[in-house]
Structure 1
Amino acid sequence: MDQLLALDNEANLATRDRFIHDLSAHKQSGLAWVKSHIREINEWVDNDGVALLRGLNIVSTNQFSSILEAIFGEPLSQYVYRSSPRTALRNNVYTTTEYHADQVILQHNENAYSNCWPMRMGFFCVVPAKTGGNTPLADSREVYRKLPHALRDKFENLGVMYVRNYGDIDLPWQEVFQTQSKEEVEAYCWKNDIIFEWKSDNHLQTKQIRPAVATHPQTKEKVWFNQAHLFHCSSIDNQMPESMRESIGLDRLPRNAYFGDGTEISAEDIATINEVYESVTFAYQWQRNDIMLLDNMLYTHGREAYTGTRKVLVGMAKAAY
């Protein structure tokens, strides 16, 4: 099975060579070339959902942010209602998720757990890892089509409830909401249909019910668009000892996911979802100065474990609701 899966992924990768745009022959600065080819670049992303710009001359983080703003046609978005640790740089450019190098980050559409997400994302490889560290991709339309219909229909009918507990183990609410004010947190929750409860003076719990499936606004195709498999308690099995989970209690885990009616999602269902993701996932080997542009609804992204130093930055824009 693993051998067949590997062969299938190799075939998938071969058919996606069109996503790579080798621009190394252009000697002008990356920003200058981009400004003269904005329409062409956006057509690549509109048509394919992915565009890997390779060989551009980029000399700074500021130049990367200017490139993305030129392509997206607007300033980059601030990353609020966070789910992972990052470092903010200038002009709303961020490091990618700062989990330890030995951890794999599963496939996901950015902010699919929220009622507001970026339609466009741009990644910039400053330093490729010594081994691994690539950013795998998966077509959200293929995930939707390949899931067992009974499971897919159940998620589509019920949606997903995301439950988060802040501060004890996971990110503190101050970092997630980018404020020190409880009043501002509560205002954000009211505005964004997030149920909140202060369990103690500094312990916040939130619940938010979101669809599991979305329709892309341009292509009108259905996409699998949720993070149930990332939030589900089974995803932390390798990160938290069973004894610790039992002592904390299910209701106080850093995060968990349920069906939208509050019923439990089985670990077997999550395993099935992860298997489908694995069957359609592919990756390109990062090279220094690569810029990868994504339609965040059409394609998921993740991260391989890696060795050595790795620095990949990200910027987001074009908010959707």
Structure 2
Amino acid sequence: MTPETGTMKRFGRARKSISVSGGDLVRVTPLTEGTRAVACTPTVAGLDAREWLAGSGRQLADLRAEHGAVLLRGFSPLDAEGLGELATAFSGELRDYDNRSTPRTRVGNNVFTSTEYPPDQTIPLHNEMSYTASWPATLFLTCLAPAAEGGETPLADSARVHDRVPAATRERFERDGVMYVRNFGLGLDLSWQEAFQTEDRDEVSAYCERNGIQAEWLGGERLRTRHVVQATVEARASGSKVWFNQAHLFHVSSLPDSVERELRESFSEDELPRNALYGDGSPLDPADLAHIRAAYDAEEIAFPWQAGDVVIVDNEQFAHGRRPYGGARSVLVAMA
């Protein structure tokens, strides 16, 4: 995938207190300079984030709504079960990872590993499941083991990304939406069985019909889907217009040049394992993709993971990604 080139702003630089008093259990500070995202650190040792959530009313929910992304650092570490309990207490219900786009392993009750791509690959900034018409409102990530090198989960304010995309590009995407085309059964991406978590073709067809996805069985194990959905949305918590799609990630140009070239020599535009088009079915303009990627690069922020960190992300207000890494790395995610 295409390397990310945005400048990293490290956690801990130019931190300025936002709110704290002697009776507070948690200190709230900016995550990095120049961003709305915040970090929460306990003022007492051994504080459990689940206990703080239970005893603090809407404080954490209000921080997520106002700031978009909240890092919990210095709390008692959570395992998969603990992350699920925190996310359930916060949101009431966790959602499964349906209509999958990337490989993940279920490690608990709707708690998953983060995307299992090779460590040398970058995962571009994106909003979770914005390639669908139904997406999680909140993401909960926890770091069990940080990488020896790299492996950050960068963030980007989706409203600021939206405003950086040139008006002509925004207007084209908002008018037509984005068409995501996926060809399953080629052995080059997820199988349809993994993507839809079933071996039953009728279940897949019914799911697609319910969700407005055009499904075409092509013989053997081959399935082609086309789905036209939004390019922008109005974030429910903030009311701001945000950039909300994965056109730049699904498009074949997100792959290394040599891989894109080989795929284009082997497949036509609608036969590629996955690709993004304008909603009317016409190919994306490379200039538009360049503008989108530049907007993400300009708004990217990142911090080094520490073991026990939890990040709570408003999935509409903030995009996230993954940087390449060396050594072992373990990050879990729950969606609500």
Please tell me the TM-score bracket, short chain as reference.
over 0.9
Residues 210/239 of structure 1: CA separation in 2 closer, same or farther (3 Å cut) = farther
Rounded to whole Å, the distance in 2 between the matches of 1:44 and 1:244 is 44
Q: Answer yes or no: is the 8 Å Cα contact 1:38–1:71 preserved in 2.
A: no
Code of the residue aligned with 1:50 in structure 2: it is: A
Residues 79/24 of structure 1: CA separation in 2 closer, same or farther (3 Å cut) = farther
Q: Which residue of 2 aligns with 1:25?
A: 44
Q: Which residue of 2 aligns with 1:42?
A: 61
1:106-255 alignment runs, 5 A limit: 106-168=124-186, 169-238=188-257, 240=259, 242-255=261-274
Q: Which runs of 5+ in 2 are unaligned?
A: 1-5, 15-30
Percent identity of paired positions between Structure 1 and Structure 2: 39
| TM-score, normalised by the number of residues in structure 2 | 0.88
Bigger shift: residues 233-242 or 289-298: 233-242
- Deviation string 1:78-116 (CA, Å, 9 cap, x unpaired) is 100000000011110000000000000001000101010
Greater helix proportion: 1
Structure 1 residue 244: Cα displacement = 4.2
Structure 1 residue 34: Cα displacement = 2.8
Bigger shift: residues 16-25 or 249-258: 16-25
Rounded to whole Å, the distance in 2 between the matches of 1:80 and 1:38 is 31
Residues 109/6 of structure 1: CA separation in 2 closer, same or farther (3 Å cut) = closer
1:54-93 alignment runs, 5 A limit: 54-72=73-91, 74-93=92-111
- Deviation string 1:121-167 (CA, Å, 9 cap, x unpaired) is 10000000111101000011001111111111111111111100113
Code of the residue aligned with 1:314 in structure 2: it is: V
Rounded to whole Å, the distance in 2 between the matches of 1:201 and 1:101 is 33
Structure 1 residue 233: Cα displacement = 1.5
Code of the residue aligned with 1:190 in structure 2: it is: E
Code of the residue aligned with 1:286 in structure 2: it is: W
Rounded to whole Å, the distance in 2 between the matches of 1:128 and 1:62 is 19
Which of the numbers 73, 98, 102 marks the counterpart of 2:116? 98
Q: Answer yes or no: is the 8 Å Cα contact 1:58–1:64 preserved in 2.
A: no
Structure 1 residue 237: Cα displacement = 3.5
Rounded to whole Å, the distance in 2 between the matches of 1:197 and 1:7 is 43
Q: Which residue of 2 aligns with 1:298?
A: 317
Rounded to whole Å, the distance in 1 between the matches of 2:9 and 2:71 is 21
Structure 1 residue 205: Cα displacement = 0.4
Code of the residue aligned with 1:151 in structure 2: it is: T
Rounded to whole Å, the distance in 2 between the matches of 1:6 and 1:128 is 20
Residues 30/6 of structure 1: CA separation in 2 closer, same or farther (3 Å cut) = closer
Q: For the aligned residues, what is the CA RMSD?
A: 2.1
Q: Which residue of 2 aligns with 1:312?
A: 331
| TM-score, normalised by the number of residues in structure 1 | 0.92
Q: Which runs of 5+ in 1 are unaligned?
A: none
Structure 1 residue 7: Cα displacement = 8.9
